[in-house]
Amino acid sequence: MEKLNIMIVGVGGQGTLLASKVLGNVALKMGYDVKASEVHGMAQRGGSVVTYVKFGKKVYSPLIEKGEADLILGFEQLESLRWIEYLKEGGRMLINEQKINPMPVIIGKAKYPENIIEKIKDNYSNIITIDALKIARECGNIKTVNIVLLGLMAKSIDINKDVWIEVIKETVPQKLLEINLKAFEMGYNY
Amino acid sequence: MRKLMLGNEAVARGAYEAGVTVAAAYPGTPSTEITEYIAKYDEIYSEWSPNEKVSMEVAIGASIAGARAICSMKHVGLNVAADPLFTVSYTGVNGGLVIMVADDPGMHSSQNEQDSRFYARSSKVPMLEPSDSQECKDFVKEAFEISEKFDCPVIVRLTTRIAHSQSVVELGEKVDFTLKEYKKNFEKYVMMPAMARKRHVEVERRMAELRDFSNNTSLNRIEWGSKDVGIITSGIAYQYAREAFGDASYLKIGMVHPIPEKLIADFAKEIKTLYVIEELEPFIENQIKKMGIKVIGKELLPVIGEFSSQLIKEKILNVKTEIKVPINEIVPVRPPVMCPGCPHRGLYHVLKKLKLVVSGDIGCYTLGALPPAESMDTCICMGASVSGAHGMEKARGKDFAKKTVAVIGDSTFMHSGITGLIDIVYNKGVSTTIILDNSITGMTGHQHNPTTGYTIKGEPTRKVDMVKLAHAVGVERVRVEDPFDIKAFEKAVKEEIEAEEPSVIIALRPCALLKGVSYEGAQVIRKDRCKMCKLCLSIGCPAIVDKGDCIEINEALCIGCKLCSRLCNFNAIEKAGV
Ligand SMILES: Cc1ncc(C[n+]2csc(CCOP(=O)(O)OP(=O)(O)O)c2C)c(N)n1
């Protein structure tokens, strides 16, 4: 791998930070130079959040810009649509089918766009969608949505699965490890 | 060992490796995690202070007593701490003293976009600026050396993208630092006019030495490449510039005050076209121009917002990246919202209903300015709600005060609200102050404060009793109410604004995200009872969804606070699975 630009987008509170933390440490274990840029603070309160993870031989800017992302992991439909211009030509997007209404929609001042996934699929070739909430529920805890999605993403990145599992073990608290590993597998084998 | 670290975490590591034993801070994005990480080192006494001024004074005291000490704040925090800053510049230090300040270009989480580098210049204190996590650690260590060598505090400036980016850090060993001897020295530490006049001479002598130092330190370095284009830059802008220009020559400035004038002049001589690339103000640029050197900077680059490598390419190299998205949809914005279960939601339901003028403040509750609550009229800086309401009353009279309340969070009240309340009492005001006690500093991600009963390390401690405090400063009308008990709360607000004397309502209910706060879990809407009156939608809870033909509750978001079911006139909302 020469260089990989990955974006994780979603809604504050969905657990995107954990996913990027694991990804960053996987890249570090593989000996790459890594930079990741996160959003903390205000936007965390249910706002639109984005994390950039870049790795390769040498990384300068921590930001990924429009048209530069090899892979985008979208935790929510509208957020996937919002950030799609960051996708490189031919880049891959993984979309969780979950929908969360933003405030302008809740109060009736805007409309949640219809058929987002179909529209994206009609125009982009490399799209994978998943109902991660359903899988997390099957797995036994709906809070593992982020790990299911992490598993799905891992499958798209050419790094040995064992490295991912090793990093999850180092990151997740012991008592939640088993369920998280299960969620990871379910995403990976999706 | 190599570790992936947030810039803020690397600062904490640098403080640890430098042998720091005292750290104080008031939280503020993007600086908060510095002190949260420092608190994990058992070797370091650390604290959340009530505000930034106090945190700096604690660090100053520790330094004078011989320890290496650090205090951390966001850019606007340095305004609060500016008073001690300008004078500790005169006294100098004993143990090394480092002041961390984090600016927020682009205002991800701030009320303004001020450039803290000017503080370094006007207080005559050296300032360093790292450009990744490794430098965060290294520069903090170096800052302690500079502090002790030149007998001055040192400011280390971060910006959001440095503070909140992770990059690889090589960990080092902790140095052996032993407490320096404490010697009484009133000539140095008692700043009365006679002594301060002498110290000012010292400050100017020190600045001259620091200017020399800046030309020779490895904090400032030249990376030679093609000499057709030369870039003078610092901090995160260096990273963007490297990506935008590729092969060019770079003078990367790590010591941004005082700038290395001789190094800059030598660099400029070799270069055909010279640019200065810095976010926010032309701080470096104007100094270079004053030296008579021709550089291009803010003629092309904005003073507003963050940079990126695409922005630099576009503004300087005229290369535009245009991406066409083939999907023709309006994507609604997603501003931050109060969380499901947020106690502030009950408060704003009442304030909106009563159509009050709300003198506002900073915290999660500032979200009450946005739709659907749209209830907050002002938000200036921490503490300004209370004093601002008093000013409104003095401008428009007591009748206006009967339509006005100040709202302020528990942490913000401790930070700087209490002085405003004292002002109301002392100067015969009648304003009503509502203190939103959600038992935590919410906005910055759950830090303890003097009202929560725990220290930064989670140890139980004495807590400030806000009822007694309000009584003690002379407020006689003080009451505690639950903001989810909407009827009682409304009654309380009406009574207190009517009263022609100062009053305080403490709106008590913990943040829904706090550990130990548990509600009964997701609710559902019974379609057989729901009349589609949409009253529940008016509170703006992200878990309540209008499906057009019915209203549903999102089970993944709802925690079961039941504010909506308390409001519902048809008993249509109940626990799921009943
Ligand atoms: C001088 C200054 N310091 C720090 C901040 C960052 N900040 C904004 S609000 C806030 C605290 C909010 O806590 P609280 O008042 O308890 O309200 P809550 O968010 O819990 O509702 C902080 C630390 C700031 N804006 N200004």
Q: What is the pTM of this model?
A: 0.97
pLDDT above 60 for B304: yes
Residue B537 resides in a domain: yes
pLDDT above 90 for B350: yes
Q: What is the pLDDT of residue A45?
A: 77
Residue B324 resides in a domain: no
Q: What is the pLDDT of residue B548?
A: 87
Our measurement of the distance from residue A6's CA atom to the centroid of its chain's CA atoms, rounded to an integer in Å, reads 8
Residue B311 resides in a domain: yes
Spacing, Cα A124 to ligand 1 middle (Å): 43
Q: What is the pLDDT of residues B228-263, one digit of tens each?
A: 999 999 999 999 999 999 999 999 999 999 999 999
In angstroms, rounded to a whole number, what is the distance separating the alpha carbons of residues B251 and B265? Answer: 11
Q: What is the pLDDT of residue B269?
A: 98
Nearest-atom number in ligand 1 for the CA of B416 is 1
CATH of the domain at B490: 3.40.50.970
Partners of B445 on chain A (C-beta within 8 Å) are: 40-41, 44
pLDDT band at B12; cut points 50, 70, 90: very high
Q: What is the pLDDT of residues B393-436, one digit of tens each?
A: 999 999 999 999 999 999 999 999 999 999 999 999 999 999 99
Q: What is the pLDDT of residues B181-209, one digit of tens each?
A: 999 999 999 999 999 999 999 999 999 99
Which amino acid residue places its CA nearest to atom 10 of ligand 1?
B363
Q: What is the pLDDT of residue A142?
A: 87
Q: What is the pLDDT of residue B415?
A: 98
Q: What is the pLDDT of residue A107?
A: 86
Across chain B, what does the average pLDDT equal? Answer: 97
Residues B153 and B290 in one domain: no
Residue B417 per-residue DSSP state: I
Residues B283 and B366 in one domain: no
Our measurement of the distance from residue A35's CA atom to the centroid of its chain's CA atoms, rounded to an integer in Å, reads 16
Do A34 and B167 make contact, defined as CB atoms within 8 angstroms? yes
Partners of A63 on chain B (C-beta within 8 Å) are: 161, 240, 308-309
Spacing, Cα B365 to ligand 1 middle (Å): 10
Residues B542 and B481 in one domain: no
The alpha-carbon gap from A156 to the nearest alpha carbon of chain B, in Å, equals 22
Spacing, Cα B508 to ligand 1 middle (Å): 17
Do B330 and A67 make contact, defined as CB atoms within 8 angstroms? no
A38-52, A102-116, B281-295, B532-546 — which is least confidently predicted? A38-52
Q: What is the pLDDT of residues B130-179, one digit of tens each?
A: 999 999 999 999 999 999 999 999 999 999 999 999 999 999 999 999 99
CATH of the domain at B549: 3.30.70.20
Neighbours of B313 (CB within 10 A): 18
Q: Which of B256, B316, B265 is nearest to B290 (CA)?
A: B265
Q: What is the pLDDT of residues A26-83, one digit of tens each?
A: 999 999 999 999 887 665 778 999 999 999 999 999 999 999 999 999 999 999 999 9
In angstroms, rounded to a whole number, what is the distance separating the alpha carbons of residues B84 and B60? Answer: 9
Number of domains chain A is built from: 1
Closest partner CB to B336 (pick from A25, A47, A100): A47
B96 contacts B145 by C-beta, under 8 angstroms? yes
Number of domains chain B is built from: 4
In angstroms, rounded to a whole number, what is the distance separating the alpha carbons of residues B391 and B161? Answer: 38
B44 contacts B201 by C-beta, under 8 angstroms? no
pLDDT above 70 for B11: yes
Residues B148 and B48 in one domain: yes
Q: What is the pLDDT of residue B578?
A: 67
- Relative to beta strand B154-159, strand B127-128 is parallel
CATH of the domain at A126: 3.40.920.10
ipTM reported for the complex, 2 dp? 0.95
Q: Which of B148, B142, B177 is nearest to B64 (CA)?
A: B148
Question: Residue B350 belongs to what domain range?
Answer: 344-508
Residue B327 resides in a domain: no
Q: What is the mean pLDDT of residues B89-118?
A: 97
pLDDT above 70 for B106: yes
Q: What is the pLDDT of residue A42?
A: 62
In angstroms, rounded to a whole number, what is the distance separating the alpha carbons of residues B253 and B239? Answer: 12
Phi, psi torsion values for B208, nearest 5 degrees: -65, -45
| Angle at alpha carbon of residue A124, lines to A120 and A129, rounded to 5° | 55
Element (H, E) at A155: helix A145-156
Question: Residue A71 belongs to what domain range?
Answer: 3-188
Query: At which of B187, B216, B245 does a domain end?
Result: B216
Residues B527 and B501 in one domain: no
What are B87's two structure tokens? Answer: 């004078």
Residue B335 resides in a domain: no
In angstroms, rounded to a whole number, what is the distance separating the alpha carbons of residues A30 and A20? Answer: 15
B539 contacts B342 by C-beta, under 8 angstroms? no
Do B333 and A45 make contact, defined as CB atoms within 8 angstroms? no
